[in-house]
Structure 1
């Protein structure tokens, strides 16, 4: 399965984040082009892939996670967390999860 998927976990609570806005941009164009916009479901995932397998292609992409809008605390460290990455092989699946709390975030290429 090719394409781009994601999910978001709140590491301070050990739970999926429901309702966080996520956007996917093609950053190989100037200005960057918005490809998809979604909100996470109760499982912290989007209901459909951010980039479906049928639209998979090589290039430079950026997922933007609206962290501050979700946590809504005055001491939230990050506002919008950008995760920029390159798809070198459009036949592969790229799963890009975000692990976050009001004070930290991290990501990795998942499966």
Structure 2
């Protein structure tokens, strides 16, 4: 049994605050196909209430998080005109250690984003 797990959070770097209410979907990627395995929404701290991929479902492989940033940016008055510059933001990454905590956050502003492997 693995002891690893995956967490994420979203920070609104334009406002300097956690991004509340951002929908996030997690997919397992295999070749050209993706399988949706979880959906969560960020809380008032910009985090999901539980790991988006808990230890009991954790396995090595390639994954993709989709952050529905456009909905959040619209709701907070930061989106600008249609079409949105940023809408759905995919981050594809690999998990190769079944016993590690992987943390993949999104730092978001209306016209840019970044990520990193956190702890």
| Structure-2-length-normalised TM-score | 0.88
Q: d(CA) in 1 for partners of 2:55 and 2:109?
A: 30
30-39 or 15-24, larger mean C-alpha shift: 30-39
For 1:3, the equivalent position in structure 2 comes to 5
Per-residue CA deviation, residues 30-75 of structure 1 (Å, 9 max, x unaligned), is 5310000010000000001110012211000000000111101234
Structure 1 unpaired stretches of 5+: none
2:117 matched to which residue of 1?
Answer: 109
Instruction: Give the Cα–Cα distance (whole angstroms) in 1 for the partners of residues 85 and 4 of structure 2.
Output: 33
SS in 2 for 1:100: strand
Q: Taking structure 1 as the reference length, what is the TM-score of the superposition?
A: 0.94
Mark the structure with the bigger radius of gyration: 2
Paired residues, what number?
111
Find 2:89's aligned residue among 70, 81, 90. 81
| Distance in 1 of aligned mates of 2:31 and 2:53 | 16
Match of 1:98 among 106, 115, 118: 106
